[in-house]
């Protein structure tokens, strides 16, 4: 029994086989380039990541502030009220930025819990603790 293959079928099979080989080669090259630990995807150490984070402004740290105390932030200080009650301390022209709500909190305005606040300038802005409060803070500050 003789099997006959038309010329058209032979050309189609050759094209499909060539494409399959090309795709397999491309996948193999791509896998070699992006392998973990390679130059294009290096493995990094924990100390390297910690150093990069500290150079990028550090991490938020928990801070307890007693009732009646005032926290004054430096330029760029970020604050999150986690528990308790506090009010904003603004400057003569503006307050502190509530980035969560998109508001400018003027002096005396109640601060909402779990909102990200930003002290834009080093001009005496911050928070006044109405009750004992816990904050998450990143950046320079003083308590008085």
pLDDT digits (tens, 9 = 90+) for 120-133: 999 999 999 999 99
81 and 12 co-located in one domain:
no
Confidence of residue 37 (pLDDT cuts 50, 70, 90): low
Number of structural domains (the chain) is 2
Confidence of residue 46 (pLDDT cuts 50, 70, 90): confident
Domain membership of residue 68 (yes or no) is: yes
Confidence of residue 15 (pLDDT cuts 50, 70, 90): confident
63 and 39 co-located in one domain:
no
Domain membership of residue 107 (yes or no) is: yes
Give how far Cα 5 sits from Cα of 31, 46, 118, Å. 37, 62, 75
Model confidence at 29: pLDDT above 80: no
Closest to 128 (Cα-Cα) out of 94, 93, 81, 92: 81
- Rounded to 10 degrees, the C-alpha dihedral 36/37/40/42 comes to 110
Domain housing 28: 7-43
14 and 76 co-located in one domain:
no
pLDDT at residue number 107: 95
91: Cβ contacts below 8 Å, ≥ 6 apart: 121, 123, 124, 125
Report pTM.
Answer: 0.62
Domain membership of residue 119 (yes or no) is: yes
DSSP structure class, residue 112: P
Domain membership of residue 70 (yes or no) is: yes
Closest to 91 (Cα-Cα) out of 68, 77, 73: 73
């Amino acid at each position: 029994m003789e099997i006959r293959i038309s010329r058209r079928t032979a050309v189609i099979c050759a094209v499909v086989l060539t494409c399959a080989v090309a795709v397999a080669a491309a996948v193999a090259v791509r896998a070699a380039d992006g392998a973990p630990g390679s130059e294009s995807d290096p493995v990094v150490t924990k100390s390297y990541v910690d150093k990069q984070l500290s150079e990028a402004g550090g991490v938020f740290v928990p801070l307890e502030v007693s009732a009646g105390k005032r926290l004054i932030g430096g330029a760029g200080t970020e604050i999150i009220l986690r528990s308790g009650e506090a009010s904003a301390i603004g400057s003569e022209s503006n307050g502190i930025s509530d980035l969560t709500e998109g508001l400018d909190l003027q002096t005396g305005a109640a601060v909402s819990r779990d909102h990200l606040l930003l002290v834009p300038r080093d001009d005496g802005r911050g928070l006044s603790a109405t009750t004992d409060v816990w904050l998450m803070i990143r950046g320079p500050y003083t308590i008085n």
